[in-house]
Structure 1
Amino acid sequence: VALHILAQNASCSDPRRVSANTSTIDLVQLLEWKFKEELLNIRIHGNPLTSYYQLSLDVLALCQVNGHFSPAIASTLLSPGQKKYYFDTKFSVDTAAVSVLAQICLLTTGQSLPPKVHQKIRQNVQWLVDKILAEKNSSGVIGNIYSTGLAMQALSVSSSYLEPGAWSCLKTLQRVLDEIPRGTFNNPMAASQILPSLEGNSYLNVSRLNCSMDSGKENHLPLPTPRPTSSTSRPPSISVTYTVADGVNNTFNDSISVTVPQGSVFFKVMEEAQNKDPNKFSFTYTWYSWGPYITSVRGLKADNKKRTYWQLLSNGISLSKGAGDYVVSQGERLEVRFSIY
């Protein structure tokens, strides 16, 4: 919902009046309700229904559209914490970056904040910025290449929290530009996180768009001319080993050899394994902004309340790409492992 609100704002549409079939939806009111549900779940279970990444997005979106929420509660919610900003033992640059954007929004909207809340937010941002900077490497990447776009946005809007020379924006930008021809950001969500920084902007600029400049204008973009597709031969097949394992309760650990066309993604391997042996390799998934997200394997469901999820690995190493984006290779050892974050 938060991303939909940002998208509506970016397209100069009112997120409080979104047409859906024959009715109108108030996305802001819906997000306010969902945010309250998240806070209630934290009070009862100690964890959000979704994640602190999503909560940071919620605060950012509500801040941009002047939604009803408490900045004081938000400042406490987004304060430093192991469970908030670490995924397993690894610091989540994505979560930290969105949290910085959300809290900078709170500081710059012109809303009068109590001195203690203002100070708390500044302390939060400083801690997060320091942690983000600690994740940059010599090539300019911050965290991994996919978290770099959000990190660039966060650091660009929090420059007053950086020591001189602490970060070379040009170096990071050049690394991003080098990756574009390689198809690294072909996923629409990955592209959406990189594009603002390429224009010297961030998600905070969404609320500053001058929509009146486009008022009364009609934009007629030329439609691309369809090109005939030439027939191509079938790609060669490759074989991989696919494993499903319960890494929390140790109730199962099964492997299977799977053959798929060269160029296939992880998700295709999962489908083929399920077709060959549904008793051992069945799975369910849901679609989200990055593509298919695995919700259960063999009936064992991921549960945010218990901080469990299905981790994707290749040759024992956790993947930074999702099941719908990671292209597998000949002889690779792929695994979906039930884990705790």
Structure 2
Amino acid sequence: TEWPQTGRLALYLLGLRATCPPASPPRSLVTWLKYYLEEDWRGSRRHGHPLTSHYQYGLGVLALCVHHKRVREEVIRRLLTAQHHGRLGHGGNTVDTEAVVALAFTCLERGRLVQTGLAAELRVAAHRASRSMAETQGPDGIIGNIYSTPWALQVFLAMGTCQSEPAFGQAMGALLENLHAFGTAATMAQVLPVLHGRSYLDIASMHCQEEPDTLTPMDIEPPTEVPGHKTVQLVVECPLPWCYDLRLYDRLVLVPAAASLLDVLWAAAALEPHDFKFDTQDTPQGPFLTQVLGLEARQEKRNYWQLLTAPNMPLQMGIADYRPQDGETLILRLSEW
């Protein structure tokens, strides 16, 4: 059976609200998200956590709240209980999840979408999460990892503690020093609000009539079948101190003309001899490259697989979305953030 698309639909609804649409979201989307939240929780009876993750579950609650939709108390208490018992770590970075849940709690409490007693519990839980994130800050100012740091900063901003919380200034400094790491649309969406002193909660109270209305919708059609093939040069680089040889892989890969970068990787893995291997992790933003040629990007080593097109241009899309041109050279580089 297919797992619920809780996180993906939640992100879509958050983005939809941020564009100031002329009307409320289609009722079917809200209904689907509520359905996904219920389906997602079926996993807790077997695994002790949602089928997806508490991160995606929290995103779902946050998206409904931002659209001023009420959420059943039982749904909220599932997250409260998980936070209270320290179970938010399943399915990814704990800081990411704690931050998303704290934003959801703050949104529900401020939006007066819950009863007074529950609102008080949510306020306490959000402050507890904020303190926890401040305590996990490293000496370099990063909270969790560089990609979870914007989430933590959003919590400080949403709760109005950025002036009194020393961790805020240190984390913002670390973020500004590492902006080069935010090269995809998904990661930019997390960091841009923070750079403008905002959080995702602010889109719940946007006065859309005051917006300049400069956004124009894009009609994105699914890629059509393109006849023929294209050749892509696939390069894997691993600089010092992790590897002695900079270039670990360099080979031409023949793929269909409409192939994505992910298709290129699968085609390379199928070539004889089978010396190219890679691994990905599913996220709400799509598959994320985690391992190439047995080399794993690890948070504790502060590295990640950077995607570039030659000679040195970072890609603005993920591996499933980017479609290289014929003759293009793609570089997978183990990089430090």
Q: Same fold (TM over 0.5)?
A: yes
Counterpart contact for 1:238–1:259, Cα < 8 Å: yes
1:170 corresponds to: 169
Tell me if the contact between 1:75 and 1:103 (Cα under 8 Å) persists in the aligned partners. no
CA displacement, residues 170-223 of structure 1 (integer Å, 9 cap, x when unaligned) = 33223222222xx211111111111111111100011111112248x66689xx
Candidates 271, 283, 287, aligned match of 1:292: 287
Write the distance in 1 (CA, Å) between the matches of 2:142 and 2:299.
23
Offset at residue 76 of structure 1 (A): 3.5
One-letter code aligned to 1:81: H
Matches within 5 A, 1:299-310: none
Q: Which of 237, 246, 249 is the matching residue for 1:259?
A: 249
Aligned equivalent of 2:25: 16
The Cα of 1:51 is off from its aligned counterpart by 0.5
Instruction: Check the 8 A contact 1:152/1:169 in 2, yes or no.
Output: yes
d(CA) in 2 for partners of 1:102, 1:70 = 13
Distance 2:206 2:298 in 1: 46
Computed over aligned residues only, the root mean square deviation of the Cα atoms, in angstroms, reads 4.2
Residue of structure 2 equivalent to 1:4: 12
- Alignment of 1:184 with 2:195, yes or no, is no
Shift of 1:108: 0.1
Cα distance, 1:273 vs. partner?
3.8
Alignment of 1:176-325 (within 5 A): 176-180=175-179, 183-214=180-211, 259-260=249-250, 272-276=268-272, 289-293=284-288, 313-314=296-297, 321=304
Q: Deviations over 1:94-136 (max 9, x none)?
A: 1111111000001100235141x23332332233122211221
Aligned to 1:151: 152
Does residue 328 of structure 1 match 2:333? yes
Contact kept in structure 2, 1:144 and 1:320, CA below 8 Å: no
Q: 1: distance between equivalents of 2:299 and 2:279?
A: 22
Aligned to 1:67: 69
TM-score calculated relative to the size of structure 2: 0.65
Deviations 1:233-269 (A, max 9, x none): x9996677xxxxxxxxxxxxxxxx96237xxx99977
Question: TM-score, with normalisation over the residues of structure 1?
Answer: 0.64
1:77 corresponds to = 79
Q: What are the ranges of 5 or more consecutive residues in structure 2 without an aligned counterpart?
A: 1-8, 218-231, 239-246, 252-260, 308-317, 319-330
Q: Which runs of 5+ in 1 are unaligned?
A: 18-24, 222-233, 241-256, 296-310, 331-341
Amino acid at match of 1:178: E
For 2:181 and 2:299, how far apart are their aligned partners in 1? 22
